[in-house]
Structure 1
Amino acid sequence: MNTLALRRPAAVLVLAALCLPSAAVLAESVPRSAPQRYTPIVVEDRGGIPAQPYYDDLGLPPQRPEGGLTPPATPPPAHHGEAALLPVRSTGLSPGAVDARPLDAPGLTPFFLVGDDPRSRAWLRQRQDQLRSLRAAGLVVNVESQQALDALRSLAPGLALFPASGDDLARRLGLRHYPALLTATGIEQ
């Protein structure tokens, strides 16, 4: 009879007897906790108004927090729609001369930047036919009221003008002034 064959099962039993108790102790020492919930970190909060009235206009149901409780009622903004976006103030942009330069943005739909100021109004009157032929959309980057926005629209019927901050765009494109026309191939005034 082979004594090595008898020793191998015995060695396995001894090893198992030594390891199993320590594995049980290890398993008991590891804390068991509920899955962690992560709280988002707010990097920047510029305030603003709740978006829920816009969702309400779309007919979407309000979202409820996890506990199923209805969030506290917030008063609706005084204005709805476009009027709620006003006034628009782009602190990084002002009326002034824009140096023409090339832009490599294939597929970019032409758009332009204007404000509620004499230089923008004159530029809009002068360039409106070209802007229409390009089907360019306009961003009004500095405007105080709905009446001022409507007055700009009346200067160039048929052009789409939308109130929007131009600060991020100005920073990304290195713009400091408007009015400006941006196309897939260039920036110009």
Structure 2
Amino acid sequence: MSLASGCPNAWPTEIQRTLTVIEDRGGASALPYYRALNLLPDASDTPPASAPSVIPHPATESDMLPVRSALLSPGDVTPRLIRAPGLRPVFVVGDDPLSLAWLQRRAGTLRDLNAIGLVVHVDTRTALDSMRRLVPGLQLSPTPADDLAQRLGLRHYPALITATGIEQ
């Protein structure tokens, strides 16, 4: 039984003003049930306090750290073809020695591709800043990227993912 199926004439005036009756097949009002369950606002109730409009402190990138992927680890990536038309190039790295060497070696290509970097393993802001200094001009964002890894069947990094393939 719902309030909408009850008799409109038995509803409080404020509800009658806000509802548009599409069809009325008669029946008994459900209003007594709603009142018994305390589901309708009482005119004597004070309105609930509004939520604060200011967050105690805005979230920062440091609040996201440490980042650790549950599905990805450093290792060899076997190159393979994929079909992802329109995908902007993305690379997946961590702050491990393999990833850092890969970043240095591939930085020019990554810049040329305007690739976005997903840092899937980094513990501190200091480590993330150090990675950024290593490859200036590349966007590095901390994120576990587990959803991406699962969708692409990716198990290891560092990796470059383009619209046509995955490679190391």
| TM-score normalised per structure 2 | 0.70
Q: How far apart in 2 are the matches of 1:82 and 1:31?
A: 57
Equivalent in the alignment of 2:157: 178
How much does 1:158 deviate? Answer: 0.7
**Higher-Rg member (1/2):** 1
Q: How far apart in 2 are the matches of 1:100 and 1:180?
A: 9
| Cα 1:137–1:73 shift into 2, 3 Å | closer
2:122 to 116, 140, 143: 143
Give 4+ residue runs of structure 1 displaced > 4 Å after superposition: 72-75
2:49 to 64, 69, 75: 69
Structure 1: runs of 5+ lacking an equivalent: 1-25, 37-66
1:130 to 93, 102, 109: 109
Q: How far apart in 2 are the matches of 1:74 and 1:131?
A: 39
RMSD: 2.3
| Cα 1:83–1:106 shift into 2, 3 Å | same
**C-alpha deviations, 1:38-86, integer Å up to 9, x for none?**
xxxxxxxxxxxxxxxxxxxxxxxxxxxxx44124799836x83111111
Equivalent in the alignment of 1:154: 133
1:32 matched to 2:32? The reply is no
- How many residues are matched? 130
Q: How far apart in 1 are the matches of 2:48 and 2:28?
A: 30
1:87 to 66, 70, 92: 66
| TM-score normalised per structure 1 | 0.63
Which letter maps to 2:153? G
Equivalent in the alignment of 1:116: 95
Which letter maps to 2:107? Q
Matches within 5 A, 1:19-58: 27=26, 30-33=27-30
Considering fraction of residues, name the structure with more helix: 1
Q: How far apart in 1 are the matches of 2:70 and 2:54?
A: 29
Structure 2: runs of 5+ lacking an equivalent: 1-24, 35-46
Which letter maps to 1:170? A
How much does 1:117 deviate? Answer: 0.4
How much does 1:87 deviate? Answer: 0.9
Which letter maps to 1:32? S
SS of alignment partner, residue 129 of structure 1: helix
Equivalent in the alignment of 1:104: 83
**C-alpha deviations, 1:13-48, integer Å up to 9, x for none?**
xxxxxxxxxxxxx94xx44225x9xxxxxxxxxxxx
Q: How far apart in 2 are the matches of 1:74 and 1:81?
A: 15
Q: How far apart in 2 are the matches of 1:134 and 1:86?
A: 27
Q: How far apart in 2 are the matches of 1:133 and 1:100?
A: 20
